[in-house]
Structure 1
Amino acid sequence: MGRAEERRARQRGGRRAAPRSRSSQAVMEAEPTVVGQGRAAARKSAKAGRGGKTGKGDKSLIRRMFTWKKILGTFFGLCLLGIGAFVVLYMMIGIPAGNADAKLQSNVYKYSDGTTLTRDGDVNREVVALSQIPKGVQRTFVAAENKTFYNDAGIDLKGTARGMLNTLSGKGAQGGSTITQQYVKNYYLTQDQTVTRKLKEMVISLKLDREKSKDYILAGYINTSYYGRGCYGIQAAAQCYYRRDAGKLTVAQGAYLAALLQAPSQYDWAVATDTGKKLVKARWNYVLDNMVGQGWLDKSERDGLKFPVPKGPKPSAGKKGQIGYLVDAANNSLEKQLIAQGSAEDAKQAEAMVEAGGWTITLNIDKEKQAALERSVKDQLTSKLDKKKRKVDGDVQPGAVSVDPKTGAVVAMYGGVDYLKHFTNNATRRDYQPASTFKPVILAAALDEGAETQDGKEITANTIYDGTSKRPVKGSDIAFAPENEDDQNYGDVTVQTAMNKSINSVFAQLGVDVGMDNVLKVAGDLGMDTSGLKAVPAQTLGTMGASPLEMAGVYATLDNHGKKVTPTIIKSVQNSSRKVQLPNPIGEQVVSREAADSVTSVLTGVVDDGTARTSVRDNPKRDGQKVAGKTGTSDNNKSAWFTGFTPSLVTSVGLFGESNKSHAQVPLTGATGLIPSPGRINGGGYPAQIWATYTFGVQTKVTKFDLKTDQGAAVQPTPTATPSQSPTSSPSQSPPSKSPTSEPSPSDTPTSEPPTSSTPTAPETSEEPTDPETSPTDGESEDPLDPDLGQ
């Protein structure tokens, strides 16, 4: 048999075919169709015999279609496609700007000693530099969340893949992200659990890790994370849980805060269940053990650490009481400085910059002095007010400012009974008349300018003027004849006596002699806002607007020997993105030292032998303390003042009559139930009492004025000056020995103590010391050409 036949035999079943006869061959050739059909049937039968059932054939087909080569090829193809897509994403996605919510911060306000006054803002967050946080505390977060942080490329592929699968399968968020990824999620993206967000997170994390340092990323992470109790960032968390700044945290405390991040609400010790407490302790131990494992914490030190139980939640101080006034005053001061240094174009932009948050503002407010001022106002005034009994009691608005004359620091401020009840800050409002507290400004102008009387004699504390009530002033183009307190006539008196008794007619003439333009100029130099004021004689009665803050600055400049003092409530300002240069509160010499010291010397007479003697001089807590000051009671008793000072502290106290309903200016008369006619609230009454209680309470060391002057009550016991001008009318009767009193206290009765040696001995001024001023017309007389000036 030939090879071809053998092959055919094998194909037919492996049997060798017998040689065909010619007859057989002929039959086959005669019936080709039949034979062909038989062969097809044989092949079909053979195939069925080899394949068995039909399903086995299908599996064979599947095996041929899904070979390992095809599967591997498909896998690599998909990988290449995924890599290509990721490359495209990497090229398309950049590092975006931080989202608005992540940038929100609170403003932090602190007392002068660094303790927190309050926080103000929509989000309780204060960003701090990583350098401010102890190294050990920094590492607690790395140990808790991402031990490989310092060595990884910013992402965890396994954790990210697991997170994406969980997202697709609906299992929710799962751990596994690096610190970089968590920071990217917090700061650049959102908390949404989507595949798209996860891919963006990976891309941005890789880029961020290449472009920024690990310290930058770690700082961002711990400053943006949420720690529970409404606290964002480590600084807010440190205050919330341990009442301290982040820079003073211990490793044990840092480990607790790091542990909190896993479940802030569940792990808050103050509200945690027993299970929650066990879990957070276990987490705390886990963090510390990881630190030991990384070589960041010595084993012996770790063994000595005890779980630092955090403090309970503390209600936010907010803006209640005096806090709101202090916050607003600090914000206003900061806004003005931003404009002054060119950081903001206008007030609107400056306000927006402050409200954006991120400021740490340390105030000059001394915590103890602030508390003392608040107590003094309560003890001496507000505890006596009862608006249910007397409608007028609801109209009394107190305000006060205390300043250190050597530094300009506002060490205490009283803005009103409660910021949440009365929004306007009475310490900074300028809509009430300072009345006779303006008189020292007139004298300062006279002494500094070397002014002369109408007959050419130099004006000093001993210059004699006619103190007759309603006496027309001389030398003025505008007719002016102011009325004295209760229309009282004093005859010829020295300037010193006129200051002691707040005699309007004398200071009206004195202002004209100096020149009202000069008076207003010196007022501006001393710190008053004189813009838009008319230089008319009526201004001598203090008919312009002024605030306790403003008047405290004027008297602080006098106390500081004539060197300008600008009261400043801000001690320092910090902001991570902006610098603020604070101006020096102490300025140049604006009036001569001799002039300033002479005014101070004269003002000691107001306390020792004038309108403030009962409340200040006779206060049992004075203990020999040297004091200068001036009372004031404005037109129709709508405001009452006492601004006084010692060598180291200046305080201005004002009471303002403001309608509780309409907020219009109203008289204070009758408040607290004063019965003796006419029941006025005067500068020598409650304002001086508040001042004395506060000042003598915080001024523990007795001090004396260092004065370079040869005039005034402090240095000259017996004036010997002769009259420098002829009286305009015959001397009037001596005033009665007792004026109507404004206070019900028996202490208002004139003392039996003889007048101090500073009182002139001339017949027309030999009367006994009068009571605190009680005039409702102090500053009431009007310039006939400007009838609104007295109101």
Structure 2
Amino acid sequence: MVLLPLLLLGIGWIAFAIPTADDAVNNQVATISYADGADLTRLVPEAGNRTKVTTDQIPVQVREAVLAAEDRTFYSNPGFDLSGILRAAWSQLQGGVGGGSTITQQYVKNALVGDQVSLWRKYKELIVSLKVSQEKSKDEILTDYLNTIYFGRGAYGIQSASQAYFGKDVGQLTPAEGALLAGVIQSPSRWDPAIDPQKAVQRWGFVMDGMVSQGWLSPSQRDAATFPATQQRKPMSSGSFGDSRGHLVTAVKSELDSLGITDQEFAQGGLQITTTIDADQQDRAVASAQKALAGQPDNLRSSVVAIDPKTGAITAYYGGDNGVGLDYAQVKKQPGSTFKPFVVLAALMHDPPIGLGTVFDGKEETGLRNADGADCDRCDIKQAMTLSNNVIFTKLAAKVGPDAVASAARAAGITSPLTNPDARLALGNKEVSPLELASAYATIAGGGVWHAPHLVSKVVTSDGRVLYQAPDSGGERRFPEQVARNVVEAMSGVAPADGLTIGRPVAGKTGTVQSRFEGQNNDAWFSGFTPDLATTVWVGTDMNSPIKTSSGTPIEGATMPGKVWQNFMQQATADEPASQQSFGTFRPIGTPPSDLPPNAPEQASASAAPSSSAPPSASVEATPVDPAAPSALPQPGSGAVPTTEPEPPRRNADPGQGRSPTTPQRTTTTAPPPAQDCSLRPCG
């Protein structure tokens, strides 16, 4: 029994080398790659992120603060906690984790072993810790540790951390500042005061009290100390993350955090992260947006998000050019008429279903107006979608119930609160993000099957362990395939009418949000899809100011966003045969649209044919009425359960303030008269 431990000790002593401080940092480098494995970026602690210092350059009380936080018996223990190792080993044998670590063990783990939870790691950690303790002094071990440990904010080592948090060299740190840095070591993503001030203060107090208990700080010094102010957080590497890639990296890190992979693991685990981003599509998305904004007013911003409907994989993600500013792929704005497909979705699932051929009076009424050219005496739902007739969709939303519309949007993939909806939800008066809208449209494109939108496909540690693999699931059916195909049919005339064809079948919708001032728009959208790719484009500003081109023309959904969408989608789908991008046979639910023979059991859609004579887009689509006015609309009757989350603040002015909502008209299912053809935009 004695020979076996000695034999294992001897083998390990010979086999395992003592790591250097550089080994400790190099093993922590994280790589983020495109879907094909090509490097997107490497989070390397460059010279600006790590500067080695000597023991005497680190104030004594700063060193003591670290010991108070991490290992108060450092100078007296043998470099490892045998009881802790045994407890951890036993826990792992029982299927758990655990076991504390000395500073020597932490250094060894970061430098050589990695963070694998296994008996092998504990064995290796024990042997190397013994060797380090035998061959290096305590001061050398502590200094190596302080030169390699990750402090958050992209800072490896105490000198880099001192600059990142306080803008000064380590030699100028006060005991209170040293205690703050010592406190964040264990979990920078939790105890950075810029992330959670309350937890940071609690942790700082724990370290300061520990210094007093060890005699390293007097009670009077502790009483006089105040929590130190820190600098504003900066990007880890301005050269690498200041451009559009910054938003992508931040979104990846956020998703890792949601998967339980912390910022600290990201920075210290040597992780190899494979994303779902297609390198070519990403380049095209960025180039399309940048080309559209070139030479335009400086206040214009844009975002592009593309999602594979079959998997939920985000294949392109552009949140703007300033990688440390707002990520416009996730900023929430009113979506305007891009919400109208969810009204159709709710109508098709109504009892009884309301089919695309249901006819409404679409003329303007008190409190409701249409965009120029969108009036229609008698239009069916598909024609109203092509025209983007506000009156008809507000009536339809009232008929099926606003809660049903909200439920349909949530079923498709909208996650923002849609609290207390009314019929104006059809006009997009609740805020959503471009990422949400792309996901919801992808569900429609995918035949009613929702896949969680995601950027991370795989995460592997430096020692080859797979921490995470995106599930290869069939998704979650949210509504029937025939219902989804009918929604597609309703949307199929929009892109041809706006001259936004791409040479293959597409379904889409424009969205333009008007300010309180006539003729001024705040946000413009185009969202559309093929069966294989759903893409949303947004154009707006930071301050919700009017969006105009350099010539002063108001920007609408079919103009700048539509052109960005068209340019990107033409390139993204160029290599796919059009025959493989069919939406399949259209089988009407309820009343078929008027461009089909009456009572036709099924007919393939003719919407794929490009329209070379399509008239220009109507100007403004979303014109909601006063939210404070008492509603005369029918109450919801669908049984849908409204969300109870608080509604986000309104960012856009309501152009209809002071108007009373209209009472909806009775609908009819008779076909429109032949003389009134509303399938093209100059209707009414």
TM-score range, shorter chain: 0.5 to 0.7
Could you tell me which of 336, 346, 370 is aligned with 1:435?
336
Say yes or no: does 1:491 pair with 2:377.
yes
Contact 2:336-2:622 at 8 Å conserved across structures? yes
1:656-695 to 2 correspondences below 5 Å: 656-658=540-542, 664-668=543-547, 670-674=548-552, 679-695=553-569
Contact 1:525-1:590 at 8 Å conserved across structures? yes
Give the 3 Å change call, closer, same or farther, for CA 719–316 of structure 1 in structure 2: same
Say yes or no: does 1:538 pair with 2:417.
no
Q: Deviations over 1:593-617 (max 9, x none)?
A: 1110111112111122x3xx22x13
User: Shift of residue 98 of structure 1?
Assistant: 11
Q: Deviations over 1:167-203 (max 9, x none)?
A: xxxxxxxxxxxxxxxx979959xxxxxxxxxxxx999
User: Shift of residue 497 of structure 1?
Assistant: 0.9
Q: Deviations over 1:520-546 (max 9, x none)?
A: 111111110243511211211111111
1:343-362 to 2 correspondences below 5 Å: 350-356=262-268, 358-362=270-274
Q: Which residue is equivalent to 1:467? A: 362
| SS state at 1:638 partner | strand
Q: Which residue is equivalent to 1:397? A: 301
Q: Which residue is equivalent to 1:744? A: none
Cα distance in 2 for residues equivalent to 1:186 and 1:562: 46
Q: Which residue is equivalent to 2:196? A: none
Say yes or no: does 1:204 pair with 2:130.
yes
User: Shift of residue 483 of structure 1?
Assistant: 2.0
Contact 1:448-1:592 at 8 Å conserved across structures? no
Say yes or no: does 1:327 pair with 2:279.
no
| SS state at 1:655 partner | strand
Cα distance in 2 for residues equivalent to 1:784 and 1:626: 42
Give the 3 Å change call, closer, same or farther, for CA 352–205 of structure 1 in structure 2: closer
User: Shift of residue 358 of structure 1?
Assistant: 2.9
Contact 1:657-1:665 at 8 Å conserved across structures? yes
User: Shift of residue 395 of structure 1?
Assistant: 1.4
Q: Deviations over 1:87-111 (max 9, x none)?
A: xxxxxxxx99998993672331111
Give the 3 Å change call, closer, same or farther, for CA 100–758 of structure 1 in structure 2: closer
Cα distance in 2 for residues equivalent to 1:357 and 1:332: 16
Contact 1:184-1:204 at 8 Å conserved across structures? no
1:32-43 to 2 correspondences below 5 Å: none
Query: Number of matched residues?
Result: 434
Say yes or no: does 1:567 pair with 2:444.
no
User: Shift of residue 588 of structure 1?
Assistant: 1.4
Cα distance in 2 for residues equivalent to 1:371 and 1:648: 18
Give the 3 Å change call, closer, same or farther, for CA 673–665 of structure 1 in structure 2: same
Say yes or no: does 1:598 pair with 2:486.
yes
Cα distance in 2 for residues equivalent to 1:697 and 1:369: 8
1:402-481 to 2 correspondences below 5 Å: 402-420=306-324, 423-430=325-332, 432-451=333-352, 458-470=353-365, 481=367
User: Shift of residue 204 of structure 1?
Assistant: 2.9
Q: Which residue is equivalent to 1:42? A: none
Contact 2:492-2:607 at 8 Å conserved across structures? no
Cα distance in 1 for residues equivalent to 2:618 and 2:327: 27
User: Shift of residue 112 of structure 1?
Assistant: 0.8
Give the 3 Å change call, closer, same or farther, for CA 184–320 of structure 1 in structure 2: closer
Could you tell me which of 525, 534, 551 is aligned with 1:641?
525
Cα distance in 1 for residues equivalent to 2:536 and 2:128: 62
Q: Which has the higher contact order (CA 8 A, sep 6+)?
A: 2
Q: Read off the aligned partner of 2:569 and give its amino acid letter.
A: T
Q: Deviations over 1:228-254 (max 9, x none)?
A: xx9x9xxxxxxxxxxxxxxxxxxxxxx
Give the 3 Å change call, closer, same or farther, for CA 602–206 of structure 1 in structure 2: closer
Give the 3 Å change call, closer, same or farther, for CA 329–532 of structure 1 in structure 2: same
User: Shift of residue 517 of structure 1?
Assistant: 1.4
Say yes or no: does 1:652 pair with 2:536.
yes
Superposition RMSD in Å: 4.2
User: Shift of residue 490 of structure 1?
Assistant: 1.7
Contact 2:108-2:129 at 8 Å conserved across structures? no
Q: Which moved more, 1:582-591 or 1:514-523?
A: 582-591
Q: Read off the aligned partner of 2:582 and give its amino acid letter.
A: F
Cα distance in 1 for residues equivalent to 2:593 and 2:308: 27
User: Shift of residue 758 of structure 1?
Assistant: 7.6
Say yes or no: does 1:524 pair with 2:410.
yes
Contact 2:447-2:480 at 8 Å conserved across structures? yes
Cα distance in 2 for residues equivalent to 1:523 and 1:400: 20
User: What TM-score do the two structures reach when normalised by structure 2?
Assistant: 0.57
| SS state at 1:436 partner | helix
Q: Which residue is equivalent to 1:632? A: 511
Cα distance in 1 for residues equivalent to 2:347 and 2:302: 32
Cα distance in 2 for residues equivalent to 1:384 and 1:572: 39
Q: Which residue is equivalent to 2:586? A: 709
Contact 2:374-2:387 at 8 Å conserved across structures? no
User: Shift of residue 405 of structure 1?
Assistant: 1.2
Q: Deviations over 1:395-441 (max 9, x none)?
A: 11000101111121111111112325xx11111222x1111111001
Cα distance in 2 for residues equivalent to 1:529 and 1:124: 42
Q: Which residue is equivalent to 1:165? A: none
Q: Read off the aligned partner of 2:329 and give its amino acid letter.
A: A
| SS state at 1:377 partner | helix
Cα distance in 1 for residues equivalent to 2:363 and 2:598: 19
Contact 1:601-1:707 at 8 Å conserved across structures? no
Cα distance in 1 for residues equivalent to 2:393 and 2:245: 39
Cα distance in 1 for residues equivalent to 2:506 and 2:342: 18
Q: Read off the aligned partner of 1:112 and give its amino acid letter.
A: A
Cα distance in 1 for residues equivalent to 2:249 and 2:134: 38
User: What TM-score do the two structures reach when normalised by structure 1?
Assistant: 0.49
Q: Deviations over 1:672-728 (max 9, x none)?
A: 224xxxx2101100111111111111212224323343249xx97824669xxxxxx
User: Shift of residue 331 of structure 1?
Assistant: 0.9
Contact 1:470-1:484 at 8 Å conserved across structures? no
Cα distance in 2 for residues equivalent to 1:520 and 1:721: 31
Could you tell me which of 12, 28, 33 is aligned with 1:105?
28
Give the 3 Å change call, closer, same or farther, for CA 203–443 of structure 1 in structure 2: closer
Cα distance in 2 for residues equivalent to 1:758 and 1:202: 69
How high is the sequence identity, in percent, across the aligned residues?
Answer: 27
Contact 1:516-1:537 at 8 Å conserved across structures? yes
Q: Which residue is equivalent to 1:718? A: 595
Q: Which residue is equivalent to 1:116? A: 39
Q: Which residue is equivalent to 1:383? A: 294
Cα distance in 2 for residues equivalent to 1:202 and 1:632: 62
Give the 3 Å change call, closer, same or farther, for CA 524–208 of structure 1 in structure 2: farther
Contact 1:467-1:503 at 8 Å conserved across structures? yes
Cα distance in 2 for residues equivalent to 1:488 and 1:548: 25
Contact 2:357-2:593 at 8 Å conserved across structures? no
Contact 2:522-2:546 at 8 Å conserved across structures? yes
Say yes or no: does 1:579 pair with 2:579.
no
